[in-house]
Amino acid sequence: MADLKVNIGRLELKNPVLTASGTFGYGEEFADFIDLNRLGGIIVKGTTLHHREGNAYPRMAETPSGMLNAVGLQNKGVDYFIEHIYPRIKHYDSAIIVNVSGSIVEDYVATAEKLASLDKIPAIELNISCPNVKEGGMAFGTSCPGAKSVISAVRKVYPGSLMVKLSPNVTNIAEIAKVAEDEGADSVSLINTLLGMAVNAETRRPVLSTITGGLSGPAIKPVALRMVWQVYNAIKIPIIGLGGIMNATDAIEFFLAGATAIQIGTANFIDPQVTIKVIEGINEYLDRHNLKSVKELTGALQVVK
């Protein structure tokens, strides 16, 4: 049994497997299938200052080796989270991380401030990359000044571990990652969904109510791996890699490309037990390769120059 512990800045995780925001509810949805206490961390749904109804149905389209979603941050708002949900989930022996979204900087700040008071939330994931909301969201994640404005404002009020989730819909993701590092983020997570679209040829209509939506699943894994590698070569703070991870081999590819930990998203829909299988698979890989700690894999890609 190898050592699976990893450190995301000051935050220690018992293993490097987290669940991706918006794909794992509040964890409870999976309690019948797995022991939630075995996870390295649970990143809960995108949470905003105020209640949001999200986008109209239809919100989903299946695509080759992936899916599009247009949920649009449906959630009951941070106060509801604190009052009703937090008490139910705070006892999990996994890091509970809240994914924070907003349309204006002030909303991000207010939400982060409220979450800062919660003992059992050691970190927030700042979602500056959601493609499914009209205002804000992705706009912050696709320009350096935009990213800077929200990260620096949140950093001022949030003393916990600050993870910034980056958008892949940019020319140069390393540049945005650098901004996050410079503004004091403890880590970056990448990638959020790629902006995509689906069309129904027979009805001649878009499949999603919002026309475009976020692409996730194995289809995007090559892009995610590339971005993790680019960011790894540009910054020093830890990287949490995600995008299309379906099994332990995929996870290990992300570690090699530079990730310290990984998140599993869409795969949970296909196999609600996938997270545990990935944890076990990583352990098996480490044993088979005679590695003592998963940390040895981070950025260990052998590149012949």
Partner 1 sequence: MKKYIKDLQVVNKQILSAEYYLLELSSNQPLPEVLPGQFAEVEITGSDATFLRRPLSVHDVDYDKNTISFLVQIVGKGTKHLANIEVGKILNVIFPLGKGFELIKSSENALLIGGGCGIAPLLYLARHLKKQGVKVSTLIGVRRSSQLIELDNYKKYGDVLITTEDGSEGTKGYVVNHPVFENLKQYKKIYTCGPEVMMKAIAKRANESRVDCEVSLENMMACGIGACLCCVTETTEGNKCVCTEGPVFNIHNLKWQI
Nearest 5°: the CA angle 113, 31, 13 is 50
Q: How is 5-38 classified by DSSP, letter by letter?
A: -EEETTEEESSSEEEPTTSSTTSGGGTTTS-GGG
Contact yes or no for 162/243 (Cβ under 8 A): no
Interaction of residue 169 with ligand FMN, rule CB under 6 A: no
Interaction of residue 111 with ligand FMN, rule CB under 6 A: no
Interaction of residue 54 with partner 1, rule CB under 8 A: yes
* Helix intervals (H) in the chain: 78-80, 86-89, 105-116, 138-141, 144-157, 173-182, 221-232, 248-257, 267-270, 274-288
Residue type, 120: K
Interaction of residue 74 with partner 1, rule CB under 8 A: yes
Question: What's the closest the beta carbon of residue 224 comes to ligand FMN, in angstroms?
Answer: 7
b/e string for 15-48 if b means 16 or more Cβ within 10 A?
Answer: bbbbbbbbbbbbbeebeeebebebbbbbbbbbbb
Question: What's the closest the beta carbon of residue 44 comes to ligand FMN, in angstroms?
Answer: 9
Residue type, 143: S
Of the candidate spans 29-37, 135-143, 147-155, 265-273, the one that interacts with ligand FMN by CB under 6 A turns out to be 265-273
Interaction of residue 270 with its own copies, rule CB under 8 A: no
Question: Among residues 122, 157, 184, 212, which is the contact residue for its own copies, using CB under 8 A?
Answer: 212
State the catalytic residue, choosing from 6, 44, 70, 130. 130
Contact yes or no for 241/262 (Cβ under 8 A): yes
Interaction of residue 53 with partner 1, rule CB under 8 A: yes
Interaction of residue 184 with its own copies, rule CB under 8 A: no
Question: Among residues 82, 157, 223, 234, which is the contact residue for its own copies, using CB under 8 A?
Answer: 223
Reduce the DSSP state of residue 254 to 3 states and report it: helix
- Which string of x and - marks every residue 255-274 that binds partner 1 (by CB under 8 A)? -----------x-xxxxxx-
Question: Among residues 16, 46, 66, 137, which is the contact residue for its own copies, using CB under 8 A?
Answer: 66
Structure tokens given for 129: 């990359």
Residues contributing to the site for ligand FMN (CB under 6 A) = 20-23, 45-46, 69, 71, 73, 99, 127, 130, 165, 192-193, 214, 216-217, 220, 242-245, 264-267
For the annotated catalytic residues, the residue numbers are 130
